[in-house]
Structures are given as C-alpha cells and as structure tokens.
Amino acid sequence: MERLLEMLGVLAALYVGYKLTMGKWDYTSPQKRDERKNKLKTAGLSTRFYFMHPRTQFVLTFISGGLFTFYWLYKQWQQVLRGFKRLDKTPLKGGAFVRAVGGIGTFFSLAGLINRTCEYMHKPTSWPAGLWGLLWLGGLVLVCCAVSPIWRVAGYMLWCAAPAVFQRKINTLSREIVPAFPRTVEIIVALLGAACTIGIVSVVRIWLNRI
C-alpha cells in the first residue's frame, strides 16, 4: 500500500508539473503561436488515425482482458505510419506490427502524438502521455499484485480506460459520427483475447497450486 501511495504521489507531482509548464503555453502573440506550431511539427503529427467508438473500445478491451489494446495499437500505428508528417520529413521507424507488440513502450509515443495533433488542430488534449502511460501500466501492476479485490478492480478499470481516453480525443479530429456497434473483426479479436486471458489465468493457477 505504501508503494501505491508513493506511485500516486509521483503521478500527482507529474500532473502539477505539467500544468505549470506545458499546460500553460503562451498563445497571446502570433510569434508564440508560430513557435509552438513549429515545435509540434518538429516532433511529428499525423493526418490519419483509426476511428472507433470509445465506449465500444472500452467494452471490447474489458472483455478481452485488456489484450484488445494491442490490436488497437496495431490499427492506430497502421494509420499513423501512412499519415505521419514531420518538419524534417523523417519517417517513423518500425512497422505497425512491431510497434503493437512493443505496445508497453509505444503507448507513450502514440499518446504523445495524439495530444500533439489535437493541439495543432485546436482540439482538446488529454493529460500528458507519460501520466496516462504510467496510469495504464500502474493499473496492470495493481491487477497482478497481492492487494485487495477493490484495488485490483480499480487497476483493471485503469488498464482498460486509458486507451479509450485517447480514442475519444482521436474522434474529435473527425466530423463524421463514429458508429457504436463494433466491426466484426473487432468482436473476433476481443473474443480471442478473452480466450487467451482465461487460458493464461488457468495455467497460472495450476502452476501456483503445484508450488
């Protein structure tokens, strides 16, 4: 519990630091606006993303044990790699599959890219990518730790909710209404993820019982 409180304290400090720095960009003059735009374009933006309803994404992620997130990462990177733009025209390295497999790390860079694009398009941004990434991974840690069921449920909700937060931001970039009903392939992936999760949990329980 002490470690959890320490982690929450660090996250709170990161958020306060964000609000005092990046959260207070000065747009009062054309020069400041141009400087900020150049920084965003230098870091990289994208003209393409994968669109789906955030509530649908949350439900499918919840059903799949959180594994649907890696499919979501694959689809997002697949689109981003086609629409990525940077001031020096340097492309992103690595394919969509590799970035999805390494989702524990690429979640941070994708979230940052989404926030930059939303800011450039004058759309609401979310909390910093680092903060949401830590909450996302922190949720998984809580699920795996020997804590009370309430904390595990809270951790699982974080594990499932963080991607949906950024999907909601992505959807603000489109004027089209995103249907709530999932695509057939999304349902299949969620069910496969659920099967994998049940299998993994069963194997772990059998292994623990033999110890």
Q: Tens of pLDDT along 86-118? A: 999 999 999 999 999 999 999 999 999 999 999
Q: What is the pLDDT of residue 1?
A: 54
Spatial CB neighbours of 155, under 8 Å, sequence gap ≥ 6? 138, 139, 140, 141, 142, 143, 145
Burial of 56 (0-12, 13-18, 19+ CB in 10 A): buried
Range name among 8-12, 112-116, 153-157, 204-208 with the lowest pLDDT average: 8-12
**What pTM does this model have?**
0.86
CB atoms within 10 A of CB 154: 15
Q: Where are the domains of the chain?
A: 2-210
